[in-house]
Amino acid sequence: MMSWFIQHGRALRNALTRLSRSPVGSLLAILVIGATLCLPVGLYHAINEAGTLGRSVLHEPHITIFMAQDADLITVRSTWDSLQAQRGVQSVRYISSEEALAEMKAAPGLAEALSVLDKNPLPHTFVVTAKSADPNQLEALRQEFSGWAKVERVQLDSEWAHRLAALLVFGQHLVMGVALVMGLALWAVIVNTVRLQILSARDELEVSHLMGATRTTIRRPFLYFGFLQGLLGAAAALGLATLGIHLLNGLLTDLTPLFGLDFHLQPFALKELLLCEAITGILGWIAAYVSVTAYLPRSR
């Protein structure tokens, strides 16, 4: 058992020696891997974060009911009563046309524009908070309210969140595609780097073979080499993506308040960091295995 650990320790040291023997070449290879992985890693993280935003909006399912311009107060009262009686409704807020106009007049720049109108163009409005965020139930409520007397328009406020969710599903598929292509590129980079290592170590490998090294023994340092390249490449990718998140957050601080949102990208969670390192390390190991199997000289 001790011997097993020593053999693996030596293989790891050998791999580290190979990496440090040509620091510039190793650094460039790691940067190539990092830059290649940065895009899918960053996109994946951004899409996850946007999904969190969408879900938080869906937790507050609002439906806005705009009454017709000619709806009298009796109809409005009747609508209010009907809404209160609805089982799927949590709460209702009524905004009269006068209140809406007063709010608009308070907005800078709009007061002057509204003063030229001879009558209030705004309808009476109900903002309904539904009990359930289930899209099907919300749609059923929307359709029912649309059929009521003097209801002009019913707007599902969380509709954009559903559209966002649909977009995110598309985005996730896109990221998967990008990740596959970039994974292939990463694979090619590591296969080629290991191939070059094998070519530059021909003499050493030949001597090891003659001294009685098995293929497993000869292969092992190269597997560690691929694994380390994957790990370091992933670390570079995560570093670059974190830098990207930092820069984007600077822009989001100015942008999101315009949409009434308080949103910024969170840094990578420990689970995400470990998952990325593990996947890339294993990918590096497999790529090195393929390269070694293909390029190690075989005995005759």
Partner 1 sequence: MIRLDAVVKRYPDGHEALSGVSLDIEAGEMVFVTGHSGAGKSTLLKLMAGIERPSSGAVLLNGQNLRQLSNTALARLRQNIGLVFQDHRLLFDRNVWQNVASPLTLAGSYGDDMKRRVGAALEKVGLSDKALANPVTLSGGEQQRVCIARAIVNRPRLVLADEPTGGLDPHYARIILDIFRSFHQAGVTLVIASHDEVALSHYATRILHLEDGRLGGDSETNSAEFAT
Applying CB under 8 A, the residues found at the interface with partner 1 are: 3, 6-7, 10, 203-204, 206-217, 299-300
Q: Give the bridge partners for 66, in sequence order.
A: 125, 153
Nearest-approach distance from CB 225 to partner 1, in angstroms:
16
Please spell the DSSP secondary structure of 234-269, one letter per residue.
HHHHHHHHHHHHHHHHHHHHHHGGGGT----PPPPP
Among 26, 3, 5, smallest CA distance to 231 is for 26
By beta-carbon proximity to partner 1, the closer residue of 155 and 208 is 208
β-bridge pairing 89-95 and 62-67: unpaired
Nearest-approach distance from CB 209 to partner 1, in angstroms:
8
By beta-carbon proximity to partner 1, the closer residue of 122 and 205 is 205
By beta-carbon proximity to partner 1, the closer residue of 3 and 115 is 3
- Residue 290 exposure: Cα atoms within 13 Å on the Cβ side: 13
By beta-carbon proximity to partner 1, the closer residue of 45 and 220 is 220
Nearest-approach distance from CB 12 to partner 1, in angstroms:
13
- Rounded-to-integer distance, Cα 223 and Cα 155, Å: 59
The secondary element (H helix, E strand) that includes residue 103 is helix 97-106
By beta-carbon proximity to partner 1, the closer residue of 143 and 214 is 214
Nearest-approach distance from CB 30 to partner 1, in angstroms:
23
Nearest-approach distance from CB 227 to partner 1, in angstroms:
21
Nearest-approach distance from CB 194 to partner 1, in angstroms:
19
By beta-carbon proximity to partner 1, the closer residue of 214 and 253 is 214
For residue 88, the one-letter residue type is G
> Are the CB atoms for 25 and 229 separated by under 8 Å?
no
Contacts of 213 (CB under 8 A, 6+ apart): none
